[in-house]
């Protein structure tokens, strides 16, 4: 959980810490999130998310699935 998904993405990109599956956060009502690509050595994937509501948003789930192709 982060306060600003876009800011975290920018920081990690500028420091070379990770590549992301999308260029910008995936946004839906009450939700913003992104995923890093798997780290080449560890395979770890990070998710950064900001929620104003509980639960899932079906449109956001579809966009996430597309981003992980």
Is the pLDDT at 66 greater than 60? The verdict is yes
Distance (Å, whole) CA 32 – CA 3: 10
Contact 45, 35 (CB under 8 A): yes
Average confidence score pLDDT of the chain: 85
- Mind spelling out the 3-state secondary structure of 25-62? CEEECCEEEEEECCCCCCCCCCEEEEECCCCCCHHHHH
Half-sphere exposure of 69 (CA within 13 A, CB side): 5
pLDDT band at 67 (very low <50, low <70, confident <90, very high): low
pLDDT band at 43 (very low <50, low <70, confident <90, very high): very high
**What pLDDT is recorded for position 46?**
95
**What pLDDT is recorded for position 29?**
85
């Amino acid at each position: 959980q982060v306060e600003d998904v876009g800011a975290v993405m920018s920081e990690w990109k500028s420091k070379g810490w990770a590549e992301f599956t999308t260029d910008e956060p995936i946004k839906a009502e009450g939700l913003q999130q992104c995923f890093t690509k798997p780290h080449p050595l560890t395979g770890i994937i990070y998710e950064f998310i900001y929620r104003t509501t509980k639960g899932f948003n079906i449109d956001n789930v579809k966009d996430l699935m597309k981003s992980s192709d």
